[in-house]
Structure 1
Amino acid sequence: MKYAPVSGIAALAVLVGALAGPAAATQDAAAATAPRTAVTAAATPRPTLTAQATESAVRASQQFRIFGTARHMPPGTPVTLQQRQGSRWVDLPATVNTTPQGTYTLRVVLDFKGRNSLRIVGGGAVSPIVYVTVHHCPIQGC
């Protein structure tokens, strides 16, 4: 009789374990899937833009180019040149689409004398600032 209660408890534990086993396995599989989904979404690369100017200093109305690369965005994404005016970034009338290789080139003419802060925006990305100084020069040269 001493051993009967122990056998009953052991049998009850085995029965509960067998019933909980499939449910626990289903919960474990769902828990294992959820973190992988979150990691996959977080691992999606963010779009980025680079920008460079062909000149660091130009005369007023002298043409130069801004060029760069667009990463992690589809080909044909429009990118726009912005200029800092006071405390605001203002879109300039210079927009092009990225190439299938992920590059872009803009022809730029500025008349705003002094140091101009420029950047490229598009596809959810913003490039680093590019500085171009515009000098006031008479028509016949500086």
Structure 2
Amino acid sequence: MLRRADPSEAYRRVDFDARVNGASPQQLVDLCLEQLTGSIDRAVFADARGDNAMKSAALTRAVAALTALQLGVDSANPASGALLQLYGAARRAVLDSAVAFDPATLNSIRDDFNDIRKAMHGGVAA
């Protein structure tokens, strides 16, 4: 049986792969944050439309981004404990939304991580 192809997903994957290859550590963190916030937006949008498949895929992508952020924390960095706590709490909240969807919590997480991205870019929205 053939899988139904989604052209936009194929283009997104190519774009993502191209951006990952050769990226600096800071660019990889920014990419993970971008994927996280975008995935949360898609999950909230999908929930409002009643599209459970899209919502599930978006939540899965958000968890993957948070997992990548957790795995990338340098334990020698003095802020590592705080980062791991932040990423872990956000990951648990996203996972909880797979069972009991909570758009307010997800929007709060998205806003927090958008603020982090903004700070990484010198206070300018990314």
**TM-score (normalizing by structure 1):** 0.19
Structure showing greater radius of gyration is 1
Structure having the larger proportion of residues in helix: 2
**TM-score (normalizing by structure 2):** 0.22
Structure having the larger proportion of residues in strand: 1
